Structure 1
Protein backbone atom coordinates (compact mmCIF):
# COMPACT_ATOMS: atom_id res chain seq x y z
CA UNK A 1 0.00 0.00 0.00
CA UNK A 2 2.81 2.41 0.88
CA UNK A 3 4.41 1.74 -2.52
CA UNK A 4 1.13 2.40 -4.34
CA UNK A 5 0.55 5.58 -2.32
CA UNK A 6 4.09 6.77 -3.02
CA UNK A 7 3.63 6.21 -6.76
CA UNK A 8 0.32 8.07 -6.67
CA UNK A 9 1.87 11.09 -4.90
CA UNK A 10 4.78 11.11 -7.36
CA UNK A 11 2.42 10.96 -10.35
CA UNK A 12 0.34 13.83 -8.93
CA UNK A 13 3.49 15.90 -8.34
CA UNK A 14 4.68 15.37 -11.92
CA UNK A 15 1.24 16.29 -13.25
CA UNK A 16 1.19 19.55 -11.28
CA UNK A 17 4.74 20.33 -12.42
CA UNK A 18 3.82 19.92 -16.08
CA UNK A 19 0.56 21.87 -15.97
CA UNK A 20 2.12 25.36 -16.57
CA UNK A 21 4.02 24.08 -19.61
CA UNK A 22 0.92 22.40 -20.99
CA UNK A 23 -0.94 25.70 -20.59
CA UNK A 24 1.75 27.54 -22.54
CA UNK A 25 1.59 24.97 -25.30
CA UNK A 26 -2.18 25.19 -25.44
CA UNK A 27 -2.03 28.97 -25.87
CA UNK A 28 0.38 28.67 -28.80
CA UNK A 29 -0.55 27.52 -32.25
CA UNK A 30 2.94 26.17 -32.83
CA UNK A 31 3.31 24.31 -29.55
CA UNK A 32 6.16 24.40 -27.06
CA UNK A 33 8.93 27.00 -27.50
CA UNK A 34 7.10 28.94 -30.20
CA UNK A 35 7.84 32.67 -30.36
CA UNK A 36 5.22 35.40 -30.23
CA UNK A 37 4.13 36.60 -33.62
CA UNK A 38 5.83 39.86 -34.68
CA UNK A 39 3.79 43.02 -34.42
CA UNK A 40 2.32 44.06 -37.75
CA UNK A 41 4.03 47.06 -39.25
CA UNK A 42 2.28 50.37 -39.13
CA UNK A 43 1.57 52.10 -42.42
CA UNK A 44 2.81 55.32 -40.80
CA UNK A 45 6.39 54.07 -40.55
CA UNK A 46 8.96 55.52 -42.97
CA UNK A 47 9.61 53.67 -46.21
CA UNK A 48 13.02 52.34 -45.15
CA UNK A 49 12.20 51.88 -41.46
CA UNK A 50 13.77 48.41 -41.36
CA UNK A 51 17.16 49.77 -42.44
CA UNK A 52 17.79 51.38 -39.07
CA UNK A 53 15.39 49.64 -36.69
CA UNK A 54 15.65 46.09 -35.30
CA UNK A 55 12.75 43.85 -36.28
CA UNK A 56 13.52 40.90 -34.05
CA UNK A 57 10.80 38.90 -32.33
CA UNK A 58 10.07 38.60 -29.46
CA UNK A 59 10.22 42.34 -28.89
CA UNK A 60 11.32 42.10 -25.25
CA UNK A 61 14.60 40.52 -26.41
CA UNK A 62 15.48 43.13 -29.02
CA UNK A 63 17.91 44.99 -26.74
CA UNK A 64 19.54 41.87 -25.31
CA UNK A 65 23.31 41.97 -26.00
CA UNK A 66 24.34 39.33 -28.51
CA UNK A 67 20.80 38.71 -29.76
CA UNK A 68 21.29 39.40 -33.46
CA UNK A 69 20.71 38.04 -36.96
CA UNK A 70 24.04 39.41 -38.25
CA UNK A 71 26.22 37.03 -40.26
CA UNK A 72 29.91 37.45 -41.08
CA UNK A 73 31.56 35.06 -43.54
CA UNK A 74 34.73 34.96 -45.63
CA UNK A 75 33.14 36.46 -48.75
CA UNK A 76 30.03 38.23 -47.48
CA UNK A 77 28.45 39.80 -44.44
CA UNK A 78 24.99 40.89 -43.32
CA UNK A 79 25.08 43.45 -40.50
CA UNK A 80 21.51 43.83 -39.26
CA UNK A 81 20.23 46.95 -37.41
CA UNK A 82 20.48 45.41 -33.93
CA UNK A 83 24.28 45.14 -34.48
CA UNK A 84 24.84 48.72 -35.65
CA UNK A 85 27.30 50.63 -33.48
CA UNK A 86 27.17 54.39 -34.04
CA UNK A 87 29.97 56.82 -33.26
CA UNK A 88 30.96 60.28 -34.56
CA UNK A 89 32.14 60.20 -38.16
CA UNK A 90 35.61 61.73 -38.62
CA UNK A 91 35.52 65.27 -40.02
CA UNK A 92 31.71 65.23 -40.33
CA UNK A 93 29.71 67.81 -38.36
CA UNK A 94 26.98 66.58 -36.01
CA UNK A 95 26.83 63.18 -37.68
CA UNK A 96 27.00 59.64 -36.32
CA UNK A 97 28.10 56.72 -38.45
CA UNK A 98 27.87 52.93 -38.32
CA UNK A 99 30.25 50.99 -40.55
CA UNK A 100 28.69 47.95 -42.22
CA UNK A 101 31.44 46.82 -44.62
CA UNK A 102 35.14 47.76 -44.54
CA UNK A 103 38.40 46.63 -46.16
CA UNK A 104 39.32 45.07 -42.81
CA UNK A 105 36.56 42.55 -43.51
CA UNK A 106 38.04 41.72 -46.90
CA UNK A 107 36.02 44.09 -49.11
CA UNK A 108 37.43 46.58 -51.61
CA UNK A 109 34.99 49.30 -50.56
CA UNK A 110 33.48 50.94 -47.48
CA UNK A 111 29.76 50.95 -46.71
CA UNK A 112 28.34 52.88 -43.78
CA UNK A 113 25.22 54.56 -42.46
CA UNK A 114 25.41 58.28 -41.74
CA UNK A 115 22.86 59.68 -39.29
CA UNK A 116 22.94 63.40 -39.86
CA UNK A 117 21.60 65.62 -37.10
CA UNK A 118 20.40 69.22 -37.06
CA UNK A 119 22.79 71.57 -38.88
CA UNK A 120 25.03 68.70 -40.00
CA UNK A 121 27.61 68.60 -42.75
CA UNK A 122 29.59 65.88 -44.50
CA UNK A 123 33.32 65.55 -44.91
CA UNK A 124 35.12 65.28 -48.25
CA UNK A 125 36.06 61.71 -49.27
CA UNK A 126 39.78 60.83 -49.22
CA UNK A 127 41.88 61.53 -52.31
CA UNK A 128 40.96 59.42 -55.36
CA UNK A 129 37.92 57.92 -53.63
CA UNK A 130 34.53 57.94 -55.36
CA UNK A 131 31.28 58.09 -53.39
CA UNK A 132 27.73 56.87 -53.89
CA UNK A 133 24.95 57.87 -51.49
CA UNK A 134 21.30 56.99 -51.08
CA UNK A 135 18.79 58.76 -48.80
CA UNK A 136 16.64 56.45 -46.67
CA UNK A 137 15.24 58.97 -44.17
CA UNK A 138 14.75 62.73 -44.07
CA UNK A 139 16.38 64.97 -46.65
CA UNK A 140 19.70 66.64 -47.35
CA UNK A 141 21.18 69.20 -49.73
CA UNK A 142 24.07 68.29 -52.00
CA UNK A 143 26.24 71.32 -52.75
CA UNK A 144 29.07 71.57 -55.27
CA UNK A 145 31.90 74.06 -55.66
CA UNK A 146 30.20 75.40 -58.78
CA UNK A 147 27.39 76.74 -56.59
CA UNK A 148 24.76 74.22 -57.72
CA UNK A 149 22.55 72.66 -55.03
CA UNK A 150 20.43 69.51 -55.23
CA UNK A 151 17.66 68.71 -52.76
CA UNK A 152 17.84 65.00 -51.97
CA UNK A 153 14.71 63.46 -50.48
CA UNK A 154 14.03 59.82 -49.62
CA UNK A 155 14.81 57.56 -52.62
CA UNK A 156 17.30 60.09 -54.01
CA UNK A 157 20.81 59.01 -54.94
CA UNK A 158 24.03 60.57 -56.12
CA UNK A 159 27.22 59.22 -57.65
CA UNK A 160 30.16 61.56 -57.06
CA UNK A 161 33.41 60.84 -58.94
CA UNK A 162 36.75 60.77 -57.19
CA UNK A 163 38.11 64.21 -56.23
CA UNK A 164 34.75 65.82 -57.03
CA UNK A 165 34.42 68.58 -54.46
CA UNK A 166 31.06 68.59 -52.71
CA UNK A 167 29.33 68.71 -49.34
CA UNK A 168 26.15 67.13 -48.03
CA UNK A 169 24.21 69.27 -45.55
CA UNK A 170 21.04 68.79 -43.53
CA UNK A 171 19.10 71.31 -41.46
CA UNK A 172 17.07 68.59 -39.75
CA UNK A 173 17.75 64.85 -39.43
CA UNK A 174 18.55 62.47 -42.25
CA UNK A 175 19.89 58.95 -42.69
CA UNK A 176 22.13 58.22 -45.66
CA UNK A 177 23.63 54.97 -46.92
CA UNK A 178 27.09 55.67 -48.31
CA UNK A 179 29.47 53.58 -50.42
CA UNK A 180 33.06 54.69 -50.98
CA UNK A 181 35.90 53.03 -52.86
CA UNK A 182 39.16 53.97 -54.51
CA UNK A 183 38.53 54.76 -58.16
CA UNK A 184 40.03 52.33 -60.66
CA UNK A 185 40.87 54.51 -63.65
CA UNK A 186 40.10 53.43 -67.19
CA UNK A 187 41.91 54.98 -70.13
CA UNK A 188 40.00 57.87 -71.76
CA UNK A 189 37.09 57.45 -69.36
CA UNK A 190 36.19 60.35 -67.08
CA UNK A 191 33.00 59.72 -65.06
CA UNK A 192 30.56 62.53 -64.44
CA UNK A 193 28.31 63.06 -61.39
CA UNK A 194 24.98 61.27 -61.55
CA UNK A 195 22.11 62.56 -59.41
CA UNK A 196 18.56 61.26 -59.48
CA UNK A 197 15.77 59.37 -57.74
CA UNK A 198 14.58 55.78 -57.98
CA UNK A 199 11.01 57.07 -58.28
CA UNK A 200 11.88 58.46 -61.71
CA UNK A 201 13.53 55.28 -62.94
CA UNK A 202 11.57 52.62 -64.88
CA UNK A 203 10.98 49.29 -63.19
CA UNK A 204 13.10 46.49 -64.58
CA UNK A 205 11.65 43.07 -65.18
CA UNK A 206 13.37 40.58 -62.89
CA UNK A 207 11.87 37.13 -63.51
CA UNK A 208 12.65 34.59 -60.83
CA UNK A 209 14.64 35.19 -57.71
CA UNK A 210 17.34 37.86 -57.66
CA UNK A 211 20.36 37.21 -55.43
CA UNK A 212 22.84 39.67 -54.01
CA UNK A 213 26.40 39.77 -55.28
CA UNK A 214 29.16 39.20 -52.75
CA UNK A 215 32.42 41.12 -52.87
Structure 2
Protein backbone atom coordinates (compact mmCIF):
# COMPACT_ATOMS: atom_id res chain seq x y z
CA UNK A 1 0.00 0.00 0.00
CA UNK A 2 2.86 2.35 0.76
CA UNK A 3 2.87 5.77 2.39
CA UNK A 4 -0.33 7.86 2.32
CA UNK A 5 -0.57 10.88 0.04
CA UNK A 6 -2.56 12.90 2.55
CA UNK A 7 -3.41 13.13 6.24
CA UNK A 8 -4.52 9.94 7.96
CA UNK A 9 -8.27 10.37 8.44
CA UNK A 10 -11.27 8.08 8.85
CA UNK A 11 -15.06 8.17 8.81
CA UNK A 12 -15.13 5.45 11.49
CA UNK A 13 -17.21 6.17 14.59
CA UNK A 14 -16.91 3.74 17.52
CA UNK A 15 -19.10 4.20 20.59
CA UNK A 16 -18.43 1.11 22.69
CA UNK A 17 -21.65 -0.43 23.94
CA UNK A 18 -23.74 1.95 21.83
CA UNK A 19 -23.05 1.90 18.08
CA UNK A 20 -20.30 1.80 15.49
CA UNK A 21 -19.77 2.77 11.87
CA UNK A 22 -16.86 1.04 10.17
CA UNK A 23 -15.94 2.12 6.62
CA UNK A 24 -14.14 -0.35 4.34
CA UNK A 25 -10.96 1.76 4.16
CA UNK A 26 -10.09 0.95 7.77
CA UNK A 27 -10.57 -2.81 7.70
CA UNK A 28 -7.65 -5.11 8.46
CA UNK A 29 -7.25 -8.83 7.83
CA UNK A 30 -7.36 -11.24 10.76
CA UNK A 31 -5.83 -14.71 10.98
CA UNK A 32 -8.73 -17.00 11.89
CA UNK A 33 -7.89 -20.69 12.42
CA UNK A 34 -9.61 -22.91 9.87
CA UNK A 35 -9.83 -20.31 7.10
CA UNK A 36 -7.38 -21.02 4.30
CA UNK A 37 -6.57 -18.57 1.48
CA UNK A 38 -9.07 -16.12 2.90
CA UNK A 39 -8.96 -12.47 3.95
CA UNK A 40 -11.17 -12.16 7.05
CA UNK A 41 -12.13 -8.89 8.73
CA UNK A 42 -14.01 -8.98 12.04
CA UNK A 43 -16.66 -6.27 11.80
CA UNK A 44 -18.42 -6.65 15.16
CA UNK A 45 -17.70 -8.68 18.29
CA UNK A 46 -18.32 -8.68 22.07
CA UNK A 47 -15.22 -6.49 22.45
CA UNK A 48 -17.32 -3.72 20.91
CA UNK A 49 -20.41 -4.57 22.92
CA UNK A 50 -22.17 -6.80 20.39
CA UNK A 51 -23.67 -10.13 21.42
CA UNK A 52 -22.62 -11.68 18.09
CA UNK A 53 -19.68 -11.73 15.69
CA UNK A 54 -19.94 -10.43 12.12
CA UNK A 55 -17.26 -10.98 9.48
CA UNK A 56 -16.42 -9.84 5.96
CA UNK A 57 -14.68 -12.69 4.15
CA UNK A 58 -12.90 -12.52 0.81
CA UNK A 59 -12.02 -16.02 -0.39
CA UNK A 60 -9.20 -16.29 -2.90
CA UNK A 61 -9.32 -18.98 -5.56
CA UNK A 62 -9.19 -22.28 -3.66
CA UNK A 63 -10.15 -20.59 -0.40
CA UNK A 64 -12.00 -22.74 2.12
CA UNK A 65 -12.86 -23.63 5.68
CA UNK A 66 -12.85 -27.39 5.98
CA UNK A 67 -12.51 -27.43 9.78
CA UNK A 68 -16.04 -26.11 10.20
CA UNK A 69 -17.46 -22.90 11.62
CA UNK A 70 -19.86 -22.75 14.56
CA UNK A 71 -21.29 -25.96 16.04
CA UNK A 72 -22.17 -26.82 19.66
CA UNK A 73 -24.45 -24.01 20.95
CA UNK A 74 -23.49 -21.61 18.12
CA UNK A 75 -25.72 -20.80 15.14
CA UNK A 76 -24.18 -19.44 11.94
CA UNK A 77 -25.19 -17.69 8.74
CA UNK A 78 -23.37 -17.04 5.46
CA UNK A 79 -24.43 -14.71 2.64
CA UNK A 80 -22.68 -14.75 -0.74
CA UNK A 81 -22.31 -11.24 -2.17
CA UNK A 82 -20.03 -12.09 -5.08
CA UNK A 83 -18.66 -15.22 -6.70
CA UNK A 84 -19.68 -18.83 -6.21
CA UNK A 85 -19.18 -20.98 -3.13
CA UNK A 86 -20.12 -24.35 -1.72
CA UNK A 87 -21.67 -24.12 1.75
CA UNK A 88 -22.37 -27.39 3.53
CA UNK A 89 -22.95 -29.30 6.73
CA UNK A 90 -22.41 -33.01 7.32
CA UNK A 91 -25.96 -33.68 6.06
CA UNK A 92 -26.67 -30.96 3.49
CA UNK A 93 -24.84 -28.89 0.90
CA UNK A 94 -25.65 -26.02 -1.41
CA UNK A 95 -23.98 -23.99 -4.13
CA UNK A 96 -24.41 -20.29 -3.39
CA UNK A 97 -23.99 -17.52 -5.93
CA UNK A 98 -24.70 -13.80 -5.52
CA UNK A 99 -27.69 -13.43 -3.21
CA UNK A 100 -27.47 -17.00 -1.91
CA UNK A 101 -27.33 -17.82 1.78
CA UNK A 102 -27.31 -20.65 4.33
CA UNK A 103 -28.30 -20.70 7.99
CA UNK A 104 -26.95 -23.48 10.23
CA UNK A 105 -28.56 -24.22 13.61
CA UNK A 106 -26.57 -24.98 16.78
CA UNK A 107 -24.88 -28.34 16.63
CA UNK A 108 -24.33 -28.11 12.86
CA UNK A 109 -20.93 -26.94 11.69
CA UNK A 110 -20.80 -24.82 8.55
CA UNK A 111 -18.15 -25.60 5.93
CA UNK A 112 -17.19 -23.28 3.08
CA UNK A 113 -15.32 -23.64 -0.21
CA UNK A 114 -14.73 -21.19 -3.06
CA UNK A 115 -15.84 -22.67 -6.38
CA UNK A 116 -15.09 -19.57 -8.48
CA UNK A 117 -12.01 -18.99 -10.60
CA UNK A 118 -11.59 -15.66 -8.84
CA UNK A 119 -12.50 -14.10 -5.51
CA UNK A 120 -15.72 -14.78 -3.61
CA UNK A 121 -17.04 -12.19 -1.16
CA UNK A 122 -19.09 -13.26 1.86
CA UNK A 123 -20.83 -11.92 4.93
CA UNK A 124 -20.45 -14.39 7.81
CA UNK A 125 -22.19 -14.35 11.19
CA UNK A 126 -22.31 -16.33 14.42
CA UNK A 127 -24.07 -16.02 17.78
CA UNK A 128 -25.04 -18.16 20.76
CA UNK A 129 -28.42 -19.78 20.28
CA UNK A 130 -31.03 -19.16 22.97
CA UNK A 131 -32.93 -22.44 23.27
CA UNK A 132 -36.70 -22.62 23.66
CA UNK A 133 -38.42 -25.75 24.97
CA UNK A 134 -40.16 -27.84 22.35
CA UNK A 135 -38.65 -26.26 19.23
CA UNK A 136 -35.45 -26.63 17.23
CA UNK A 137 -34.30 -24.57 14.20
CA UNK A 138 -33.20 -26.25 10.98
CA UNK A 139 -30.83 -25.63 8.07
CA UNK A 140 -32.18 -22.95 5.73
CA UNK A 141 -30.91 -22.35 2.20
CA UNK A 142 -32.21 -19.66 -0.14
CA UNK A 143 -31.48 -16.80 -2.51
CA UNK A 144 -32.82 -13.27 -2.12
CA UNK A 145 -33.42 -13.07 -5.87
CA UNK A 146 -36.12 -15.72 -5.46
CA UNK A 147 -37.93 -14.00 -2.54
CA UNK A 148 -40.63 -11.38 -3.09
CA UNK A 149 -40.11 -8.03 -1.43
CA UNK A 150 -42.72 -6.72 1.01
CA UNK A 151 -43.72 -3.12 1.48
CA UNK A 152 -42.26 -1.90 4.75
CA UNK A 153 -44.68 -0.29 7.21
CA UNK A 154 -47.13 0.78 4.44
CA UNK A 155 -44.48 2.84 2.62
CA UNK A 156 -44.36 2.15 -1.12
CA UNK A 157 -40.77 3.36 -1.50
CA UNK A 158 -39.30 1.09 1.20
CA UNK A 159 -39.11 -2.70 0.79
CA UNK A 160 -38.02 -5.55 3.05
CA UNK A 161 -37.08 -9.21 2.52
CA UNK A 162 -37.07 -11.81 5.33
CA UNK A 163 -34.37 -14.42 4.81
CA UNK A 164 -35.27 -16.81 7.64
CA UNK A 165 -38.63 -18.27 8.72
CA UNK A 166 -40.74 -16.27 11.16
CA UNK A 167 -40.93 -19.29 13.44
CA UNK A 168 -40.38 -19.41 17.21
CA UNK A 169 -37.65 -21.99 16.68
CA UNK A 170 -35.45 -19.16 15.37
CA UNK A 171 -34.10 -16.60 17.84
CA UNK A 172 -32.72 -14.41 15.03
CA UNK A 173 -33.48 -13.31 11.51
CA UNK A 174 -31.71 -11.66 8.62
CA UNK A 175 -33.44 -9.02 6.52
CA UNK A 176 -32.64 -6.89 3.49
CA UNK A 177 -34.07 -3.38 3.67
CA UNK A 178 -34.11 -1.18 0.55
CA UNK A 179 -34.99 2.52 0.39
CA UNK A 180 -35.69 4.37 -2.84
CA UNK A 181 -34.03 7.82 -2.95
CA UNK A 182 -35.74 10.05 -0.36
CA UNK A 183 -37.15 6.99 1.44
CA UNK A 184 -36.83 6.80 5.20
CA UNK A 185 -37.94 5.00 8.32
CA UNK A 186 -41.45 6.02 9.40
CA UNK A 187 -40.18 6.99 12.88
CA UNK A 188 -37.05 6.95 15.03
CA UNK A 189 -36.84 3.41 16.42
CA UNK A 190 -35.77 2.71 20.00
CA UNK A 191 -35.84 -0.98 20.91
CA UNK A 192 -34.18 -3.82 22.79
CA UNK A 193 -32.98 -5.57 19.61
CA UNK A 194 -29.48 -4.99 18.28
CA UNK A 195 -28.44 -5.11 14.63
CA UNK A 196 -25.40 -5.58 12.47
CA UNK A 197 -25.83 -4.08 8.98
CA UNK A 198 -23.68 -4.18 5.85
CA UNK A 199 -24.53 -1.61 3.17
CA UNK A 200 -24.81 -3.07 -0.32
CA UNK A 201 -25.55 0.13 -2.22
CA UNK A 202 -26.42 3.80 -2.04
CA UNK A 203 -25.90 6.54 0.50
CA UNK A 204 -27.82 7.72 3.52
CA UNK A 205 -27.93 9.88 6.61
CA UNK A 206 -28.27 7.63 9.66
CA UNK A 207 -29.62 8.88 12.97
CA UNK A 208 -27.73 7.08 15.72
CA UNK A 209 -27.91 8.00 19.39
CA UNK A 210 -29.08 11.56 18.59
CA UNK A 211 -26.52 12.23 15.86
CA UNK A 212 -26.91 12.35 12.07
CA UNK A 213 -24.02 10.54 10.36
CA UNK A 214 -23.41 9.98 6.62
CA UNK A 215 -23.08 6.36 5.47
CA UNK A 216 -22.56 4.71 2.10
CA UNK A 217 -21.98 1.46 0.21
CA UNK A 218 -19.41 -0.78 1.89
CA UNK A 219 -19.96 0.61 5.39
CA UNK A 220 -20.79 -1.63 8.33
CA UNK A 221 -23.02 -0.42 11.17
CA UNK A 222 -23.52 -1.99 14.58
CA UNK A 223 -26.58 -0.82 16.52
CA UNK A 224 -26.60 -1.56 20.23
CA UNK A 225 -29.81 -2.17 22.22
CA UNK A 226 -31.99 0.90 22.82
CA UNK A 227 -29.95 3.16 20.52
CA UNK A 228 -32.34 5.57 18.73
CA UNK A 229 -32.03 4.87 14.99
CA UNK A 230 -33.48 5.88 11.62
CA UNK A 231 -32.23 6.67 8.11
CA UNK A 232 -32.95 8.88 5.12
CA UNK A 233 -31.77 7.59 1.74
CA UNK A 234 -29.92 10.31 -0.17
CA UNK A 235 -28.28 10.50 -3.59
CA UNK A 236 -29.34 8.86 -6.84
CA UNK A 237 -29.14 5.16 -5.96
CA UNK A 238 -31.26 2.96 -3.76
CA UNK A 239 -29.93 2.49 -0.25
CA UNK A 240 -29.91 -1.22 0.52
CA UNK A 241 -28.43 -3.27 3.34
CA UNK A 242 -28.57 -6.69 4.98
CA UNK A 243 -29.01 -6.69 8.73
CA UNK A 244 -29.27 -9.12 11.62
CA UNK A 245 -31.94 -9.01 14.31
CA UNK A 246 -32.48 -10.96 17.53
CA UNK A 247 -36.15 -11.96 17.90
CA UNK A 248 -38.71 -14.38 19.36
CA UNK A 249 -37.33 -14.40 22.89
CA UNK A 250 -38.19 -12.65 26.16
CA UNK A 251 -35.71 -10.34 27.89
CA UNK A 252 -33.65 -12.17 30.52
CA UNK A 253 -33.44 -11.10 34.17
TM-score in terms of structure 1 length: 0.65
Which residue is 1:130 aligned to?
A: 75
- The Cα of 1:143 is off from its aligned counterpart by 2.3
In the alignment, the residues of structure 1 paired with residue 79 and residue 7 of structure 2 have an alpha-carbon distance, to the nearest angstrom, of: 29
- The Cα of 1:105 is off from its aligned counterpart by 0.6
Given that residues 89 and 96 in structure 1 are in contact (C-alpha distance below 8 angstroms), is that contact kept between their aligned partners in structure 2?
no
Where does structure 1 lack aligned partners over 5 or more consecutive residues? Answer: 1-61
- Would you tell me which structure has more strand in proportion to its own residues? 2
In the alignment, the residues of structure 1 paired with residue 7 and residue 115 of structure 2 have an alpha-carbon distance, to the nearest angstrom, of: 33
Higher RCO, 1 or 2 (CA under 8 Å, sep at least 6)? 2
Which residue is 1:163 aligned to?
A: 107
TM-score in terms of structure 2 length: 0.56
Which residue is 1:196 aligned to?
A: 142
In the alignment, the residues of structure 2 paired with residue 65 and residue 95 of structure 1 have an alpha-carbon distance, to the nearest angstrom, of: 30
In the alignment, the residues of structure 2 paired with residue 204 and residue 161 of structure 1 have an alpha-carbon distance, to the nearest angstrom, of: 26
Where does structure 2 lack aligned partners over 5 or more consecutive residues? Answer: 156-182, 190-194, 196-222, 225-253
In the alignment, the residues of structure 2 paired with residue 144 and residue 177 of structure 1 have an alpha-carbon distance, to the nearest angstrom, of: 18
Which residue is 1:209 aligned to?
A: 184
In the alignment, the residues of structure 2 paired with residue 205 and residue 101 of structure 1 have an alpha-carbon distance, to the nearest angstrom, of: 29
SS in 1 for 2:150: coil
Residue 24 (structure 2) pairs with residue 81 (structure 1): yes
In the alignment, the residues of structure 2 paired with residue 115 and residue 80 of structure 1 have an alpha-carbon distance, to the nearest angstrom, of: 16
In the alignment, the residues of structure 1 paired with residue 96 and residue 7 of structure 2 have an alpha-carbon distance, to the nearest angstrom, of: 35
How many aligned residue pairs are there?
154
- Compute the RMSD of aligned alpha carbons: 2.3
In the alignment, the residues of structure 1 paired with residue 6 and residue 126 of structure 2 have an alpha-carbon distance, to the nearest angstrom, of: 32
Q: Which structure has the greater CA radius of gyration?
A: 1
- Would you tell me which structure has more helix in proportion to its own residues? 1
